[in-house]
Amino acid sequence: NAGVTQTPKFRILKIGQSMTLQCAQDMNHNYMYWYRQDPGMGLKLIYYSVGAGITDKGEVPNGYNVSRSTTEDFPLRLELAAPSQTSVYFCASSFTGVGQAFFGQGTRLTVV
Amino acid sequence: DQQVKQNSPSLSVQEGRISILNCDYTNSMFDYFLWYKKYPAEGPTFLISISSIKDKNEDGRFTVFLNKSAKHLSLHIVPSQPGDSAVYFCAASVDNAGNMLTFGGGTRLMVKP
């Protein structure tokens, strides 16, 4: 049972480039989330989804887009990378709400 | 404006002693509180939670205390073990569905053998 899988684990982007962070879960969870964690800070919610076809903004959605076409996958898209998006990104999923969410291992993104 | 604050960035404790991690919040609408533990290069893992209708919840060596009037919660680990060395995050939500968790900045706990 893989749980929540994030790819890639590390990435360096140039300013203005775009990329998609992948997230997949095999637990049949309805809820999925994307967080970012800046150095020395707590996690901040970027976007979340309560089921396939439904997404909503979190606390820091600017510069990101998401889609949820299946229960399993919840990709996060960065269209025009900026240095302020340098962070560690965590995807999470839960059955009834993030109270006991399962997190992926994270993607460390550096924008130069 | 940080709604959830962990004012101690780090804490060092001797093995076998008690570790007390503190968390303060400002939003009186928060109704559900959680603690997550995070090891380096891993995602956070859920540790323990408490609803606002309770003032204490216990799970093995871990106990969370909630003081709603003071808007304060704490995590007690007794006895502390070297494997408990990690970053601990406090988080809060306005309901127990927890769709919009607000996290504190974390406290790094080091348990010395």
Contact check, Cβ <8 Å, B98/A97: yes
Query: Comparing C-alpha atoms, which of B73, B27, B70, B69 is closest to residue B50?
Result: B73
Q: Which of A58, A96, A103 sits opposite B100 (nearest CB)?
A: A58
Instruction: Give residue-wise pLDDT tens across range A9-61.
Output: 999 999 999 999 999 999 999 999 999 999 878 899 999 998 999 999 998 99
Q: Is the pLDDT of residue B44 over 90?
A: yes
Which pLDDT score is estimated for B99?
62
The amino acid sitting at A60 is V
Residue B37's Cβ-side half-sphere holds a number of Cα atoms within 13 Å equal to 15
Contact B47, B35 (CB under 8 A): yes
Strands (E), A1-112: 4-7, 10-13, 19-25, 31-37, 43-51, 54-57, 64-66, 76-78, 87-94, 102-103, 107-111
Question: Which residues of chain B make contact with A41, given a CB cutoff of 8 A?
Answer: 105-106
Question: Is A105:A8 a contact under the CB 8 Å cutoff?
Answer: no
Residues of B in Cβ contact (< 8 Å) with A60: none
Q: Tell me, what's the pLDDT at A98? A: 52
- Which residues, in sequence order, are bridge partners of residue A107? A89
Q: Do A101 and B46 touch (CB under 8 A)?
A: yes
Portion of chain A with pLDDT greater than 90, in percent: 81
Q: Is B31 exposed, middle or buried (0-12, 13-18, 19+ CB in 10 A)?
A: middle
Contact call for A4 and B43, based on CB within 8 A: yes
